[in-house]
Amino acid sequence: METLMTKHESSLRQKGFSLIELLVVLSVFTFIMGGLFTIFNKSQNRYAFEQDVAEAQQSARNGIDMMEREIRLAGFPKTTYYDSALGYNTNSNTIATGFTTSNSTDMIFEGDINEDGIVDVVEYRLNGTTLERSAVAKPGGGVGATASFKTLAENVRSLTFTYYDSTGATTAVAANARRVKIDLNLSTNRIDPEYRRLRTVSVSSMALARNL
């Protein structure tokens, strides 16, 4: 009887797991789960970063598109749209004089950007790391316009306006500007998880002031 019980107990012990075996299984499980978590976390970070890149690209593209569209209307309507026999006044809010400021990070021009018969004074400038835009109705009578800025894009690393005259040569004289090359560089909010640094998104365009 004793022999039978001993064999039975031995059989039960052989069917179970020893403490060492349990620890090994637990260690392997923990290692696998840790690896899966690391892969998942990296995937999430990569996805979030790529979304951030896409948003930066879209922000840069939107800013460039708006500047292009409005620069095309710089100088509209010009004095030649009116009968000289009737006379005209360039200080009138119905006549645009084109570019009035042509700095590398600050551009001001006049144009009827809404095509509503009223000329607007439009300004684009880099303020720190923010691209700002102002568009206010030209007061007329020689009175200067008071700018009202709104944010167009953030995280701007650099903004450069390069002006060209009618011959294609660069110019620093605002009144001679006919084309504007825009170079806009934005940085992402997030750090690239692979290279451990912010990524730069660059967009460039050439805008023609058709009415000048």
User: Cα separation of 130 and 11, whole Å?
Assistant: 77
What does the pLDDT read at residue 144?
72
Calculate the CA dihedral of residues 92, 97, 103, 107 and round it to 10 degrees: 70
Q: Which domain holds residue 121?
A: 48-208
Burial class (CB in 10 A: 0-12, 13-18, 19+), 117: exposed
In angstroms, the CA 196 to CA 190 distance is 9
What integer pLDDT is reported at residue 87 of this predicted model?
A: 46
The secondary structure of residue 83, as a DSSP letter, is -
**pTM, to two decimals:** 0.76
Q: Does 98 map to a domain?
A: yes
Q: Given this model, what pLDDT does residue 45 score?
A: 73
The number of CA neighbours under 13 Å toward the Cβ of 164 is 13
Tens of pLDDT, residue by residue, the chain (212 residues):
445 455 555 554 555 567 777 777 777 778 787 777 677 666 677 777 889 999 999 999 999 999 999 999 999 986 555 544 444 555 678 888 899 999 999 999 999 999 888 899 999 999 999 999 999 999 876 667 899 999 999 999 999 999 999 999 999 999 999 999 999 999 999 888 888 899 999 999 999 999 99
Helices (H), the chain: 2-15, 19-71
In a domain, 32, yes or no: no
For residue 41, is it within any domain?
no
18 domain-assigned: no
Tell whether 123 is covered by a domain: yes
Contact between residue 130 and residue 151 where contact means Cβ atoms under 8 Å apart:
yes
Which of helix, strand or coil describes residue 73? coil
Is residue 124 domain-resident?
A: yes
Report the pLDDT value the prediction gives residue 80, as an integer from 0 to 100: 54
- Residue 177 falls in which region: left (phi positive, over 0), alpha (psi -120 to 50) or beta: beta
pLDDT at residue 161 in the model: 98
What does the pLDDT read at residue 1? 46
Let me know if residue 7 belongs to a domain: no
The amino acid at 22: L
Tell me if 8 is assigned to some domain: no
Domain count of the fold of the chain: 1
Residue 5 has phi, psi (to 5 degrees) of: -65, -40
Q: For 148-206, what is the HEC assignment? A: CEEEEECCEEEEEEEEECCCCCECCCHHHCCEEEEEEEEEEEEECCCCCCEEEEEEEEE
At 47 the pLDDT is 77
Work out the number of other CB atoms within 10 angstroms of the CB of residue 116. Answer: 9
How far is 168 from 159, CA to CA, in rounded Å? 21
Alpha-carbon span 163 to 44, nearest angstrom: 43
